[in-house]
Amino acid sequence: MFFRKALMAVAMTAALSTSALACTTLVVGEGATEDGSFLIARAADSNALKAQHFVIHPATKNVKGMYRTKDHNGATAFEYPLPENGLRYTTVPNWQTQIHGAVGFNELGVGFSGTESIFAKDEFLKIDPYNEATGITEDDIPEVVLPRAKTAREGIAILGHIVETIGAGEGFGVVMVDQKDVWYFETGTGHQWMAQRTPKDKYFASGNQGRFQEYDPKKTDEFMGSKNLIEFAQQHGFYNPKTDGAFNFSKAYTRDDGRDRVYNDPRVCQIQAMLTPSLKQKSDDGRNFPVYLKPDQKVTLNNMKDVLRNHYDGTAHDPYGKELRGDELWRPISVFRTYESHVMQVRPWLPKEIGSVIYLSWGMADLSCYVPYYQGLDAVPANHGIGTKDADDESIYWAYRKLQTLVMTDYDKLAPIVKKAYRDFEAKTAVEQKKFEDAYVKLVKTDAKKADKMLNDWNLRVIKDAETLTRDLTNQIFTIRTHDIQEGIYFKNNKNKD
């Protein structure tokens, strides 16, 4: 019975993913974190069959021509000039297109995480629709921005200019970070946008909805936006300064209806409850949730992982447990159809090769392991570049996904085994990581080449160890399920002899 219900739930998830893309984002300013680092967390949710790869794009010189989405079978016919001299950068793209790169850093330490699918008002889109023919979409942003952006702010400006002049092909939210700032960008309508620098002592959470409110174009250190952002809303009757007071971006541009009350609001409310438990608010009051909040305690790397793994654990809205419930109305942060999630960390006081790191989780965050991928990693194992919609025995994606699928056949019994093993691995790795980083900082001052080899040897070993653990866990869980199924259908004769 558990197995049949689990398969039904997986099938329902796959069906939903074709029509509903969804992600969750958390951005924490450096003054709100325990160690003073910038922290960004995001879950990318679409389809469990969307295998992901890890790609390191080399720097380019004297290049001419155009980047064309259609060359990759992307969503639109967007095109944009290639940078003459492109920076080295990393992405985590899907297997079909090798774009839609999810997360990455370039060689200067500028980081990108995107995108969060968000939605403008239907009635405003009739006036300024998305450019679904040739506009930029989440497929294209890392491929256009990361090879040319020297700062996070410049990355925001590049993307904003494209939206204003060519148009957005869909609604999205994007994070850009460097050693000085972390910014979040939201589209309004097809050609309108705004971005805000995350306050040093606060955090920002989003779950598939435009969240920005305040916008002051005079405060150029804090805000960026399209040239006529306020005037455009006023011109078309979506903002009246006499009756509305101060301009509110979300109120003017963003969809806010019953679809948000159960699908989006509860996730943001949950994140704020986890980081600021002193704040009491209703889960369906999303328009009134604070845009930026101070955490009650300084935020840690493990806090970020806990957020991404959360599914209203232990509450009436937890869709997992003794029975998988695909009909739960509150959409959790961690869902089976998450194809990757990550925590980005930027520590400006360290060499950028180790100061910028992505903790990457393949598949469903709740049943996966967060493995560090340093910016200074020169290459990744070959199985990071393979994997399709069909399960296989080699790719890194399917190594994790097969274990997760198996666990979901009896989540209540099997999930604790996997979760403990991964948490123990992460704790052990964190101790080793501190020793490695201390040694790297000392060595790189005298021998950069040896330091680079140390980084790559250590990082590749950890990646391999996590994969080995995953494959061992898969065999362990298969053994348990084999025993359980046999016990349930063990036929015996009347003398209990075979």
- Residues assigned a catalytic role: 23
* Cβ-based neighbours of 419, under 8 Å, separated by 6 or more: 366, 367
Distances (CA, A) of 457 to 29, 78, 157, 436, 454: 31, 39, 37, 11, 5
3-state per-residue secondary structure call for the chain: CHHHHHHHHHHHHHHHHCCCCEEEEEEECHHHECCCCEEEEEEEECCCCCCECCEEECCCCCCCCEEEHHHHCCCCCCEEECCCCCCCEEECCECCCCCCCCEEEECCCCEEEEEEECCECHHHHCCCCCCCCCCECCCCHHHHHCCCCCCHHHHHHHHHHHHHHCCECCCEEEEEECCCCEEEEEECCCCCEEEEECCCCCEEEECCCCCCCCCCCCCCCCEEECCCHHHHHHHCCCCCHHHHCCCCHHHHHECCCHHHHHHCHHHHHHHHHHHCCCCCCCCCCHHHCCCEECCCCCECHHHHHHHHHCCCCCCCCCCCCCCCCCCCCCCCCCCCCEEEEEEEEECCCCCHHHHEEEEEEECCHHHCCCEEEECCCCCCCHHHHCCCCCCCCCCHHHHHHHHHHHHHHHHHHHHHHHHHHHHHHHHHHHHHHHHHHHHHHHHHCCCHHHHHHHHHHHHHHHHHHHHHHHHHHHHHHHHHHHHHHHHHCCCCCCCCCC
Nearest C-alpha neighbor of 370 from the set 460, 434, 311, 305: 305
Estimate the crossing angle of helix 448-488 against helix 411-444, to 10 degrees. 170
Estimate the crossing angle of helix 301-309 against helix 265-275, to 10 degrees. 150
